[in-house]
Structure 1
Amino acid sequence: MSHSIVLLIAGPSGVGKTTLCSALLAAFPEKIVRAITSTSRPPRPGETEGRDYYFLTPECFVSKIQKGAFYEYAEVHGQWKGVFKNEILAKLAEGKDVLLNVDVQGARTYRDFSKTDLALKGRLVTVF
């Protein structure tokens, strides 16, 4: 069994989550990988599909919600955001630690999943 973890950096906007995540990714580039978020907004200039985000139409995003494809998702400023379960599970299977940057509500959702989801159980480490 892999000893990979899901490292959840959580807190309200502006507390330094992104700065901490960037430092962790730079310090441990071979071990820690970022979970790529999916969004229903269009790409901004310079953003790349599969590197910055997975870009979905709003209809496709809602369809994926209905199919249970996400651990956590939310509507933020009129756009959907979330992380696919398979995005996390594939990286854990590769032996990588998966880094997530979420708000407090998202952290609650992941903690709840980690109690019953066999893939997350015992692997979720939270930093608030």
Structure 2
Amino acid sequence: MYKTKLFVVSAPSGAGKTSLCNKLINKYKDRLKYSISYTTREPRIGEIDGQDYFFIDEKKFKEMIENNEFLEWAVVHGNYYGTSKKIIDKYLAEGYDVVLDIDPQGARQIKEKYPDAVFIFIVAPSMKELRTRLINRRTESMEKINLRMKNALEEIKYFKMYDYLIVNKYLNVAFEELNAIYLSEHLKTSDIDDINKIIDLEV
């Protein structure tokens, strides 16, 4: 009854996009799937292979690039990240919406191939707050945190490439905004080919 869509979500590290995406997917388990990315970075504490990411080595990743298996891929913070074409096509064919959690490099590639996708950018309320969140995660050295802060300033420059901007000051408020975007995107008349599929027109 509705057109399946790609929802492309990007944010600087620490802005909260993973938490927000997980909340949205848990709310709409029957019609929304998360596209698990491939990466060459090491798993963080608590991360599970095949659930958070597909963790592979650089040699395998480059083989997948050569075999044209990625819808998009990029090098971020010194590690490779990529989105599987096969997984996206499978979910869309099965009638699911798909959430892609990717950086602006990858989002730009997706925009060229899927201009009708919905692009959402999430930011922390300030750079100071972003640094505090990264420190409080206690998963990385200060050197890596400084690199992420530097990259965050570059990533924010691309916010105009996105359709929506969410400032994640309070998680519950930011989620309400994300949820509103998701619902409103399925109420567009441009996506409805036949009104008979929506309502009964028999008098």
TM-score range with shorter-chain normalisation? 0.7 to 0.9
- Cα RMSD for the two superposed structures: 2.1
CA distance in 2, matches of 1:48, 1:16: 19
**1:7 & 1:93 partners in 2: Cα distance?**
16
Q: How many residues align?
A: 120
Gap regions ≥5 residues in structure 2: 122-203
State the alpha-carbon separation in 1 of the partners of residues 7 and 21 from structure 2: 10
SS of the counterpart of 1:7?
A: strand
Once residues 63 and 72 of structure 2 are traced to their aligned partners in structure 1, the CA distance between those partners, rounded to angstroms, is 14
Higher relative contact order structure (alpha carbons within 8 Å, sequence separation ≥ 6): 1
CA contact (8 A) 2:74 2:105 kept: no
Tell me, in whole angstroms, the C-alpha distance in 2 between the residues paired with 1:13 and 1:43: 15
* Partner deviation per Cα, 1:43-94 (whole Å, 9 max, x = no partner): 4554433222222221110011122111111122332111111111111111
Q: Secondary structure at the match of 2:82?
A: strand
Match of 1:125 in 2: 118
Return the TM-score normalized by structure 1.
0.79
What are the equivalent positions in structure 2 for 1:103-114 lying under 5 Å apart?
A: 103-114=103-114
- Counterpart in 2 of 1:91? 91
Tell me what 2:38 maps to.
38
**In 2, Cα distance between the equivalents of 1:28 and 1:88?**
17
Could you list the structure 1 runs, at least 4 aligned residues long, displaced by more than 6 angstroms after superposition: none
Larger strand share, 1 or 2: 1
The residue identity in structure 2 corresponding to 1:55 is F
Deviation of 1:23 after TM superposition, in Å, equals: 2.0
1:63-78 matches, within 5 Å, as 63-78=63-78
Deviation at 1:110, TM superposition (A): 0.7
Q: As a proportion of its length, which structure holds more helix?
A: 2
Matched, 1:4 2:4: yes
In structure 1, list runs of 5 or more residues that go unmatched. Answer: 116-121
Which one has a bigger Cα radius of gyration?
Answer: 2
